[in-house]
Structure 1
Amino acid sequence: MDRADFVQRFGGVFEHSPFIAERAFDAGMIEEPLTALDIHDAMAAMFRTASPDERLGVLKAHPDLAGKLAISGELTDDSKREQAGAGLDRLSAEEHARFTELNATYVETFGFPFIIAVKGLTKDDILQAFETRIANGRDQEFETACQQVEKIARLRLESLLPEAR
């Protein structure tokens, strides 16, 4: 697989951040046969060595959970599928108001959206994590959000390469 094909196929694994896939490929870390684990290891290494500003940019590329992009239908296909799987597309008015309030407070506090790998979680699990993590310090939450980004990337890669789990 050449660079353009690799970036086309895997560039969105880290939300709107194809530079992660480009760097992994350019560093010679991508070898066939492609497996989800190998690609994840390579891309996570590139994410971890990115500058703090670049990592912050990756965090900021993620949408708010049950936020404006979800309502307007402008989520990426991956994000739409992930949020729907957790029931975030079926919130009551009260639940939506709570998510909106928490999203606003979280972004104001930390400067990036709340990020959690929602696969296998319910809306109640997500709200509980939201309410717990909002009390974290910024450095701790930045690291937690980065870990969640890597988990989301792994889950997306496993979906793209299910035979290679």
Structure 2
Amino acid sequence: MTIEAINALSAADFIARFGFLFEHSPWIVREAEKRRPFAHIVAMEDAMAAIVAEASHVDQLKLLRAHPELASKAAIDKTLTEASNAEQASAGLDRLSQEEFDLFHDLNRRYRDRFGFPFIICVRLTNKAGILASMETRLANSEAEEIATALGEIGKIVHLRLQDAMA
């Protein structure tokens, strides 16, 4: 799909085509639609990133909280969004031993208790060991550091999802 074709989509078609980019948060794509036309795909991605950056703290937290926990029961049962299922499977999170599942569950609980939202990482750019190491390390972050880190990870996730959508 070319940028010209993207710019020519109706508002409803634009939202239908790209609403999946942000996990359960189509409000970002709805707002991005209003900022068309885009000169190129990077400008579209930049517009969406700006919307997230400009969002209120409350809305940023809603975005973070819309993400699933990694290796959760929903991931094992494959009741996540199609994109999240595929992403978690790419890192092997759908094939955990009971010991690994228990470790993820414990780290997810500790992380959520500390920050109030699920641990977010672009799983397509790492593996189980990298995810677990990041979970341990990031538990030491301040809330502000972790919000910034999690939003950065969402940016990576959206970038890869958008590349896939454009392929």
* 1:19 alignment partner in structure 2: 27
- CA displacement at 1:71 relative to structure 2: 2.4
Please give the TM-score of this superposition, normalised by the length of structure 1.
Answer: 0.92
Structure 2: how far apart are the matches of 1:136 and 1:30?
A: 38
If asked which structure has higher relative contact order (CA below 8 Å, sep 6+), I would say: 1
* 2:18 alignment partner in structure 1: 10
- CA displacement at 1:120 relative to structure 2: 3.1
Give the CA RMSD over aligned residues: 1.2
8 Å contact from structure 1 (residues 13, 157) kept in 2:
yes
Structure 2: how far apart are the matches of 1:96 and 1:102?
A: 10
Q: One-letter code of the match for 2:12?
A: A
8 Å contact from structure 1 (residues 24, 30) kept in 2:
no
- CA displacement at 1:88 relative to structure 2: 0.5
| 1:127 and 2:132 are equivalent in the alignment | yes
Match 2:154 to one of 132, 149, 152: 149
Structure 1: how far apart are the matches of 2:97 and 2:84?
A: 20
Unaligned runs of 5+ in 1: none
- CA displacement at 1:69 relative to structure 2: 1.4
Please give the TM-score of this superposition, normalised by the length of structure 2.
Answer: 0.91
* 1:88 alignment partner in structure 2: 93
Q: One-letter code of the match for 2:18?
A: F
Task: Summarize the Cα distance change of 1:30–1:43 in structure 2 as closer, same or farther, 3 Å threshold.
Answer: farther
Match 2:144 to one of 139, 142, 150: 139
- CA displacement at 1:31 relative to structure 2: 3.1
Task: Summarize the Cα distance change of 1:30–1:122 in structure 2 as closer, same or farther, 3 Å threshold.
Answer: same
Three-state SS of the structure 2 residue aligned to 1:13 is coil
* 1:43 alignment partner in structure 2: 48
Structure 2: how far apart are the matches of 1:136 and 1:31?
A: 36
Unaligned runs of 5+ in 2: 1-8
Deviates more, 1:79-88 or 1:63-72: 63-72
Structure 2: how far apart are the matches of 1:20 and 1:107?
A: 24
| 1:29 and 2:36 are equivalent in the alignment | yes
* 2:70 alignment partner in structure 1: 65
- CA displacement at 1:150 relative to structure 2: 1.0
Q: One-letter code of the match for 1:52?
A: H
Q: One-letter code of the match for 1:29?
A: R
Three-state SS of the structure 1 residue aligned to 2:122 is coil
Structure 1: how far apart are the matches of 2:38 and 2:133?
A: 40
Aligned pair count reads 159
Structure 2: how far apart are the matches of 1:110 and 1:29?
A: 35
Structure 2: how far apart are the matches of 1:140 and 1:112?
A: 13
